């Protein structure tokens, strides 16, 4: 009985499909969407980042640095302009070091109209991070997500106060991550974006489409001729900025570990020249005189393969690990020297370059 009923149904469906293929006008009429439905669907797919700006914008403040007029300590003039991000309801603000570097007084203007003088908690020239504190209640705090990992192609928004025009939001994508080559000493791995960053944006927020802080805007790339290059801007990753802020709040400054070597990433060519199997690690190119590495017995052409049992991938890994050790800590360096494995205890010292 069931087979008897299904047969005419299937024949009817097959006939309908053949007719729709043969007569396109019928297909268009059947698939046509009513005007009201079209409008509704367009509203559904409308792209807007107003929610992200609404969440993050109030926590991005305008920063004005002021200096005493030369010869008159009673008068102040505004000499610097930038932005800052409120990251704690206790009043802590992250901005760039270069925004407040020469300031005798720092003024913070919130988006709700409130204005306050700010205390410089501390700064770190190497990473271009400064931490301010204001004494004010009911502060807007920018959303933060420590688990977010920036990826090339992610949509981002740069929020700041360019040219003192007032808060402005620009839009773009992450075009690269880990740009350590543009750092003066390789200590940072910048986020590269094509969101416009201009004078006054420095210290402002780079946020994702949820309004979560992912970086501190710090610089736009310019050629040696001073001609502006569009579409290449850099931000300090939130994870690094947060780490530096924590150190500054704890110690008033950033205390970094130091061993005093210069190294090069291991590769197949270097391994052949040294007559060893290709391994991950770094080759020691030079050892600073009277440095912790020199005292421990490290030599040129040594290959560092692990630190405290943690495998070394590249020179960036070594730098990141060493800077996190507190001065006075003794750390085991596993090395290869003339094809033999050695373990050298190295006592970390404070970085004299800071």
Length of the chain in residues, anyone? 354
Active-site annotation holds for 277: no
Active-site annotation holds for 202: yes
C-alpha 331: how far from chain center:
29
- Tokens at 130, concatenated: 């400064």
Which of 65, 83, 98, 315 is an active site residue?
A: 98
Which of 65, 83, 124, 128 is an active site residue?
A: 128
Which of 202, 220, 233, 315 is an active site residue?
A: 202
Residue pair 97/123 in contact by the 8 Å Cβ criterion: yes
95 sits in which H/E element: strand 92-96
Name the 3-class secondary structure at 167. coil
Neighbour-count burial of 69, counting CB atoms closer than 10 A to its CB (0-12 exposed, 13-18 middle, 19+ buried): exposed
Round to whole Å and give the CA distance between 240 and 321: 13
| Cα dihedral 205, 213, 52, 87 in deg (nearest 10) | -80
Torsions phi, psi for 26 (to 5 deg): -65, -40
Residue pair 308/315 in contact by the 8 Å Cβ criterion: no
Q: Give the residue from 240, 205, 43 showing the smallest Cα distance to 111.
A: 205
Helix (DSSP H) and strand (DSSP E) numbers for the chain? 9, 20
- Tokens at 260, concatenated: 């005093």
* Residues annotated as catalytic (active site), given as ranges: 98, 128, 202
């Amino acid at each position: 009985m069931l087979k008897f009923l299904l047969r005419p149904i299937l024949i009817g469906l097959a006939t309908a499909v053949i007719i729709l293929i043969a007569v396109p006008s019928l297909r268009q009429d059947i698939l046509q969407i009513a005007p009201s439905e079209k409008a509704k669907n367009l509203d559904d797919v409308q792209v807007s980042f107003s929610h992200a700006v609404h969440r993050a914008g109030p926590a991005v403040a305008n920063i004005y640095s002021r200096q005493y007029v030369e010869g008159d300590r009673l008068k102040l003039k505004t000499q610097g302009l930038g932005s800052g991000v409120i990251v704690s309801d206790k009043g802590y603000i992250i901005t760039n070091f270069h925004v407040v570097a020469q300031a005798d007084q720092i003024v913070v203007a919130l988006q709700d109209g409130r204005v306050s003088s700010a205390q410089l908690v501390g700064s770190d020239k190497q990473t271009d991070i400064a931490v301010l504190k204001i004494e004010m209640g009911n502060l807007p705090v920018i959303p933060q997500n420590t688990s977010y990992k920036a990826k090339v192609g992610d949509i981002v928004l740069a929020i700041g106060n360019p040219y003192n025009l007032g808060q402005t939001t620009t839009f773009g994508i992450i075009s690269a991550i880990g740009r350590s080559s543009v750092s003066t000493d390789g200590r940072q791995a910048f986020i590269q974006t094509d969101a416009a960053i201009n004078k006054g944006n420095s210290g402002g927020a780079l946020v994702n489409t949820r309004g979560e802080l992912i970086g501190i805007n710090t610089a736009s790339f310019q050629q040696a001729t001073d001609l502006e290059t569009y579409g290449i801007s850099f931000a300090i990753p939130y994870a690094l900025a947060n780490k530096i802020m924590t150190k500054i709040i704890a110690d008033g400054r950033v205390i970094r570990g130091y061993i005093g070597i210069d190294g090069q990433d291991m590769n197949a060519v270097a391994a052949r020249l040294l007559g060893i199997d290709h391994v991950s690690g770094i080759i020691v190119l030079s050892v600073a005189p009277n440095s912790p590495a020199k005292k421990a017995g490290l030599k040129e052409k040594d290959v560092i393969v692990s630190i405290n049992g943690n495998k070394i991938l590249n020179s960036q890994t070594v730098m990141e690990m060493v800077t996190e050790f507190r001065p006075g800590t003794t750390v085991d360096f596993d090395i290869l020297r003339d094809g033999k494995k050695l373990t050298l205890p190295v006592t970390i010292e404070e970085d004299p370059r800071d």
